[in-house]
Chain A
Amino acid sequence: GNSVTQMEGPVTLSEEAFLTINCTYTATGYPSLFWYVQYPGEGLQLLLKATKADDKGSNKGFEATYRKETTSFHLEKGSVQVSDSAVYFCALRDSGAGSYQLTFGKGTKLSVIP
């Protein structure tokens, strides 16, 4: 079956530090990959996505590249801000016809301190 593995958190960084949150996946087909962000007390927001190998998703300074050879979709940001403090979820959606269910990782909590 499908699965998503994220690095364990929490991650604490100083403002302007470089961020990497690792994500690897297992899937039977060619999934689409997503990063969602959940701010305290809120639901999930789509941060970025990539639908095929070598695609790079980017948004708000975050980016992630779909690496089929390493089955990875690591999230990066060059300079984090306090407002980036949130829980980040990596997720995949299978490529099967009519498939729409998401499989989530456990989430990584990021805390950015001034």
Chain B
Amino acid sequence: GAVVSQHPSRVICKSGTSVKIECRSLDFQATTMFWYRQFPKKSLMLMATSNEGSKATYEQGVEKDKFLINHASLTLSTLTVTSAHPEDSSFYICSASDRVGNLLHSYTQYFGPGTRLTVL
């Protein structure tokens, strides 16, 4: 159980175009989803946190207008990289968290397999 998928797994696009990445929780309802960016040989950088039906909360330094996040349902969140540039090339990983009541231990994050974005 607790499977998270991402689509596409790899995408190559031209500079100036927009790219949408989907994150789906396949067998549970994800009340909260997270988007991370991973640079080569670096740790994961949290970009934003989104709760279903509300606006995403962005981390400091992350451009809201460039990285659009939508969490319209309990099983789907999307990240759109608008007007992509080569410096946006990276590995983007989403995670999803379920919640059972208000138990803290239930806030386990399940990670997707990641999306490799290359902007030419």
Contacts and interface: CB of A to CB of B under 8 A. Distances in A.
Contacts of A102: 34, 46, 109
Contacts of A32: 104-105
A33 to B, nearest CB: 12
Contact of A93 (B4, B49, B107): B107
Contacts of B46: 101-102
A100 B107 contact: yes
Contacts of B41: 107, 109
A89 interface: yes
Q: Secondary structure of the A side of the interface?
A: loop
Q: Secondary structure of the B side of the interface?
A: strand
Interface residues of B, number: 24
B25 interface: no
Nearest to A4: B43
A98 B108 CA distance: 12
Given A36-B111, A99-B107, A100-B32, A43 B42 contact: no
Contact of A105 (B43, B49, B95, B107): B43
Contacts of B109: 46, 100, 102
A93 to B, nearest CB: 7
B32 A107 contact: no
B104 A43 contact: no
Nearest to B105: A51
Interface of B: 4, 6, 32, 34, 41-44, 46, 49, 93, 95, 97, 102, 104-105, 107-114
